[in-house]
Amino acid sequence: MITAEHLVKTFTRNEKKNRKTEINAVDDISLTVREGEIVGILGPNGAGKTTMLRMMSKLMKPTGGQVSIRIGKTEISDEIEVKRHIGYLSNNTKLYGRLSARELLQMLGTIYGMTQEDTERKIDQISNILSMESFIDNRIEKLSTGQTQRASIARCLIHDPQVYIFDEPTLGLDIISSAAIIEFMKGERERGKTVLYSTHYMEEAEYLCDRIVMIHQGKIISEGTPAALKAQTGQGSLRDIFSGLIQEGRRNEY
Amino acid sequence: MNTKIIRTLVKKEMLDVFRDKKTMIMMVLVPVILYPLIFVGAMQFMSFISSSMETQNYRIAVDAKDGDAFIHKLTEQPAGEERSRKETEIITIVDAAAVPDYETALNEESIDVYVSGQLREGKMQYDVYYLSSVTNSAYAANIVMEAFDELKEEMTRQKIQEAGMDLHEILEPIAYEKKDTASNEQSLGSIMGSILPFMLIISLLMGTMYPAIDTTAGERERGTLETILTLPVTNRQLIVSKFITVALIGMISALLNILSMGGIALYMYAIMDMQTDMGTFDMGKFAPAVLVCMLSVFAFSLFISAVTMCVTSFAKSYKEANNYITPLMLVVMFIGYIGFIPNLELTQSMAMMPVANICLLIKNMLAFKVDYAAIAVVLISNVAYAVIAILFLSKIYDSEAILFSEQKGSLQLFEKRSNLQKGGVPTAADVWFVAALTILLILYAGSLLQVKFGLAGVFGTQLILLLVPLALVIYTKRDIRQTYGFARTKVSAFIGGVFMITGFFPINIVLASGLMKLFPASTDNVETAFAGIMGDNICAALLVIALAPAVCEEMLFRGMILHSLKARYRAVSAIAITSVLFGFYHMSLVKFVPTGLLGLVLCYVVWRTGSIYPAMLMHFLNNAYSVMVSYYPEQVGRVLPMLCQETLSFSDGMILCGAGLILLGIGGGIFFRGRRPASADSV
């Protein structure tokens, strides 16, 4: 389980006029994702999705609020310890092109404190699940997009994390590759893992998520199961709900 | 710290770097293959050129009545090895009658040398005209001079023999010979001492440059930085492992360079040894030097790795990092030349100076001058600098603004003017640009003005200081009031300011005299230059030395620079940077600390009041006090004798400091009265 309490992230930017403006990229967001649950974050570009997920995976320090995870009955909030139990994947988490997937996974195993035998066993297992046998010893820079994405997933799996945080994992992938990722997330939910992910694809979210959180301008504007959201707004699809909510938000602004 | 994690990370970085073509080219291809190839190629080329030199024809015009003996000497075939003239060199005697004007002929290169001989006071006087700017002419002139030398010697011998005297006794009444007492090792050491440090420093720099870029900017460009940040690894582990990688690769690369150079040297030695007898060397004598060299390579690789990584960490891409590192490379290379300067010894203060200290240490060791204290200072200071740089580096890796690449304030000066928005203060980039431009202008135009026009030139310098930045502010449509801090403030700020600066002045004098004791050599020229500029007219001096800087320097430093930087950085950093710039702008080692401190006080006042006016008044008073002291030493000396003494005694210094502190306190009290610290605009 991963919990965010009153997360705030303030960026100070020099605007055109050269006046310093403070922007709350994430503005008081609280969220809990339980074991065996997939929660989808939806929002337009610049809504604060990436910043929020970066804070939840402890890549960024929040300006306010805190993030913690719970495994069994132990609550962990230390940066390094939390990272140990999170598998984070985004479009910015590229792999070392000059290493092979196997070398990368071996290195990660050591860093996560696994024994050599454990690491080797885990690598065999993962490469079997993701059918990576044919290319696991090739340099990553020589792999195709789909193979690279599989290697990236393998990277998140090596330490068998309790929590997965994926930032737009299916962006720019073909149908087969994105289906593989979706199936993977479903599989991990069955195994009782916690999955938090962001996407632009409404249909995908509707199909996959137990709960959907819509954010706009750093704030949660709506939250609930896909069915509840539809009932609540009287709209037929998530796409309509989403544009409706954002237009409503705009009207309130002026 | 978990060494296992670091070891794993280092292993990964090493693999990553070693599999990179660029590093391998820089590290292996260049030193191991390219250097020897270039060297051997160059040697062959040289010998090819010297052996296949074209036949050179030197045309020499001789205008002398009894020139036959000389012409005969000149055209005679070179005899034996004594003559430096080669067989390919042919002398053609041109008829002097055909050369009406020797200067034109020399310029047109129709002749190479013109010799005119006249009988003067009973003996022949030959003048050899040539053009030193034309290689052939200069060469031919040498040949002519040699011929004259021979002719003269021949005639001398003849005259001695004619007089019936003993040739040997007359020509060589004494015998003398120069004998070098330097051992073979010493001669070799002194040659190596100038070359080796430079080679080592450059090869280490080259070796660390690419891995430093690769592990910092390269990592960001390839997008793997965020991946590594997801791992349960602390910043320090990450940086230390990157640092170890870069330093190790630097050392390997330096080692390869040394081996390659050593190989070339051995090859050279072998070739020379075949031709001439070089004598033998006792290589054992070099053992301490080699040991210290190794330690130096180690210490310097730590230092240079840390510094290059600091520079490259700001870059987002390989290309950008390359741009950042070029100036660093030039500076290091420039300092590296210090080994070539003769007679420069490793002094106490030199031992702390990065790059130069390594150069001089290796040079000293090869000259068999061992100073254990100096060795320790050099090695420790290099390691200490590396540690400081690493700490700085971990600050960079802590900063999300740098890691997740936020946009920086860009140079507005080159934007289309109609696109610029009105108002605000200049961007940091604009400020850096203007500061650099102004300092350059002051350095060149300012010095010229001061040398030519004295006091008026100083005034001109101040005008540059005012107008160049003002032009930028107006051109980029900034808000003048906001940029310069033209704002009203309480009277108490002015009164407090007067007391504060009056207290600060004697403290600064004590400080300056202390610094002069530390760096005695550099004070003389500053003082004389200052005295030369000040005329007799005290009003003019007050205007130029006190009033003009109070307006111009304040508007630039406490006005534009401080306010612009404050909008971008934290107040503490803005004040620190402005003060350092202010100190630096005075371009004197002795003045740096006092002016920097003055800048600090003034910055603080401007920051607290939000107005530049109290600082202007304070700056005026500070400079006016100095003018007073130098114009009326007697009058001032009667009241405050310690201000006008050549050297300050310790007790007088303490009295001045104490009085200054009291005045500072009073000033501060007035300054802060009714002004709670919290009321200052918080940043």
What are the helix and strand counts (H, E) for chain B? 30, 4
Q: 3-class secondary structure for B526-592?
A: HHHHHHHHCCCCHHHHHHHHHHHHHHHHHHHHHHHHHHHHHHHCCHHHHHHHHHHHHHHHCCCHHHH
**From CA B205, how far away is CA A88, in angstroms rounded?**
37
Angle among Cα B60, B66, B67 to the nearest 5 degrees reads 20
Best to test chain A binding among B14, B230, B413, B560 (most A CBs inside 10 Å): B230
Q: Which of A246, A22, A103, A56 is nearest to B12 (CA)?
A: A103
Q: What is the pTM of this model?
A: 0.72
Q: Alpha carbon A243 to chain centroid distance?
A: 23
**From CA A212, how far away is CA A230, in angstroms rounded?**
11
Best to test chain B binding among A79, A98, A107 (most B CBs inside 10 Å): A98
The enclosing H or E element of B145 equals helix B135-162
- Give B333's Cβ-side CA count (13 Å radius): 9
Smallest Cα distance from A183 to chain B, Å: 23
Chain-chain contact of A90 with B226 (C-beta, under 8 angstroms): yes
Burial class (CB in 10 A: 0-12, 13-18, 19+), B193: buried
Best to test chain B binding among A10, A13, A14, A91 (most B CBs inside 10 Å): A14
Q: Which of B317, B404, B406, B316 is nearest to A54 (CA)?
A: B404
One-letter amino acid of B625? Y
pLDDT given at position B646: 61
**From CA B528, how far away is CA B396, in angstroms rounded?**
45
Token couple for B449: 């003005």
**Does residue A123 register a pLDDT over 90?**
yes
Q: Which of B633, B612, B636, B623 is nearest to B508 (CA)?
A: B623
What residues does B128 pair with on adjacent strands? Answer: B115
SS3 B243: helix
Residue spans per domain, chain B: 3-36+184-404, 56-171, 417-673
Chain-chain contact of A80 with B20 (C-beta, under 8 angstroms): no
**From CA B416, how far away is CA B505, in angstroms rounded?**
46
Strands (E), B283-348: none
Strands (E), B265-311: none
pLDDT given at position B535: 64
**How many Cβ pairs within 8 Å bridge chains A and B?**
90
Smallest Cα distance from A236 to chain B, Å: 38
pLDDT given at position B645: 63
Residue B500 near residue B492, CB atoms below 8 Å: no
Mean pLDDT over A99-107 rounds to: 94
SS3 B462: helix
**From CA B109, how far away is CA B130, in angstroms rounded?**
10
| pLDDT confidence bin for A16, thresholds 50/70/90 | very low
**From CA B211, how far away is CA B26, in angstroms rounded?**
10
Token couple for A117: 């035998």
Chain-chain contact of A93 with B424 (C-beta, under 8 angstroms): no
The enclosing H or E element of B654 equals helix B650-672
- Considering only CB atoms, which chain B residues are within 8 Å of A88? 230
Q: Alpha carbon A86 to chain centroid distance?
A: 10
When CB atoms are compared, the residue of B15, B226, B234 closest to A80 is: B234
- Considering only CB atoms, which chain B residues are within 8 Å of A92? 223, 226
Please give the ipTM for the structure prediction: 0.88
SS3 A167: strand
When CB atoms are compared, the residue of B8, B19, B229 closest to A98 is: B19
**Closest-CA residue in chain B for A60?**
B400
CA dihedral B580, B585, B589, B590 (to 10 degrees): -90
Residue A196 near residue A204, CB atoms below 8 Å: no
Q: Which of B498, B683, B681 is nearest to B601 (CA)?
A: B498
Q: Which of B198, B209, B388 is nearest to B304 (CA)?
A: B209
CA end-to-end distance (rounded Å), chain B: 36
| pLDDT confidence bin for A73, thresholds 50/70/90 | confident
**Closest-CA residue in chain A for B422?**
A17
Residue B222 near residue A94, CB atoms below 8 Å: yes
pLDDT given at position B92: 85
Q: Alpha carbon A78 to chain centroid distance?
A: 19
- Considering only CB atoms, which chain B residues are within 8 Å of A90? 226
Select from 3.40.190.10, 3.40.50.740, 3.90.226.30, 3.40.50.450 the CATH code of B56-171. 3.40.190.10
pLDDT given at position A99: 92
**From CA A214, how far away is CA A240, in angstroms rounded?**
13
pLDDT given at position B680: 42
Residue B508 near residue B594, CB atoms below 8 Å: yes
Chain-chain contact of B223 with A11 (C-beta, under 8 angstroms): no
Q: Where are the alpha helices (DSSP H) in A8-115?
A: 49-56, 79-84, 101-111
Residue B435 near residue B468, CB atoms below 8 Å: no
**From CA A67, how far away is CA A58, in angstroms rounded?**
8
- Considering only CB atoms, which chain B residues are within 8 Å of A83? 230-232
pLDDT given at position B679: 40
SS3 B377: helix
Is the CB of A164 inside 8 Å of chain B's CB atoms?
Answer: no
SS3 A66: strand
Smallest Cα distance from A18 to chain B, Å: 6
Residue B430 near residue B414, CB atoms below 8 Å: no
**From CA B375, how far away is CA B361, in angstroms rounded?**
7
User: Which residues have CB under 8 Å from B86's CB, separation 6+?
Assistant: B53, B78
**From CA B612, how far away is CA B592, in angstroms rounded?**
22
Is the CB of A11 inside 8 Å of chain B's CB atoms?
Answer: yes
pLDDT given at position A251: 63
When CB atoms are compared, the residue of A14, A17, A98 closest to B409 is: A14
Instruction: Give the DSSP letter of residue B128.
Output: E
The enclosing H or E element of A28 equals strand A20-33
More confident residue, B522 or A53: A53
- Considering only CB atoms, which chain B residues are within 8 Å of A76? none
Query: Which pLDDT tens digit goes with each residue over A212-253?
Result: 999 988 889 888 888 888 777 777 777 777 777 777 766 665
**From CA B200, how far away is CA B207, in angstroms rounded?**
10
Task: Report mean pLDDT in 10-residue bins for chain B, 683 residues.
Answer: 84 87 77 82 80 76 81 70 61 83 88 88 88 89 89 89 86 88 83 85 88 89 88 89 93 85 80 68 81 90 93 86 89 87 78 88 87 90 92 81 56 68 79 84 81 83 88 86 87 88 86 74 51 70 88 91 84 88 78 86 90 93 86 75 67 82 85 56 39
Query: Which pLDDT tens digit goes with each residue over A157-185?
Result: 899 999 999 998 888 788 888 888 888 89
